[in-house]
Each structure stands twice: as C-alpha cells, then as structure tokens.
Amino acid sequence: MGIGGGAVLIPALILFAGSRQHVAQSINLISFIPVAIIALIIHNRKKNLSIGYSVSLILSGLTGAAIGSGLAVRLSTEVLSKLFGVFLFIMGTIEILYKKKAE
C-alpha cells in the first residue's frame, strides 16, 4: 500500500499476539528506529540529504510525535483502535483512487 509496515505489523500484533493497541503501536515505532537510522546513513553516504530541509523535518516530526503520543496515552484502547482503522481505511482509499497507472 505504500504506507509502511505498521499497516501490517500493528493488526498482526493485535490479532495474532493478543497485544493491546497501545503496545502494538509502541512496538511498531520502536522497530522503526533501526530502519530509519540505516536509511539515514545510506542517504547521507549517497549525498541525498539536505541539512536545512532535514532540520525542519526533524523539528516538525518531534513536535508531531510529542502531540501524538500525548493524545494516544489519553485515549482508550477502543478509541485508539477505531482511529487507527479509520486511518488505514482513508490511506487505502487514497492509494486506490489516486495511484498513478504504470506506463
């Protein structure tokens, strides 16, 4: 779908491992850290990084992470699960409707 492994990992952890939504989302984020670090190293070696652009992305990402995690810990598991399902539905719909056709 092009939206990351969390779209598969989080439901799998909930359905097959019996994890709560909060725990599954935390595991997904923690498992992403090494992948992101390796990608950063590879892109830096290939000179694909713009420091100015990267700083603005990092600052906005940290701000979004702080707001999102603050909100997530205040939500019940049921509400968080439903919001995640809505998010996946919207992203899947966007992928289906706006995917460019292969030439």
pLDDT digit string, tens, across residues 10-64: 889 999 999 988 898 888 888 888 888 898 889 989 999 888 888 898 899 899 9
CB 23 within 8 A of CB 74: no
Distance CA(10)–CA(24), nearest Å, equals 5
Helix, strand, coil percent content, the chain, rounded in steps of 5? 80, 0, 20
Three-state secondary structure call for residue 16: helix
Q: How many angstroms from the chain centroid is the CA of residue 70? A: 16
- pLDDT at residue 31 in the model: 86
- pLDDT at residue 59 in the model: 93
- pLDDT at residue 67 in the model: 94
Q: Tell me the HSE value of 44 on the side-chain side, using a 13 A CA sphere.
A: 8
82 or 32: which carries more pLDDT confidence? 82
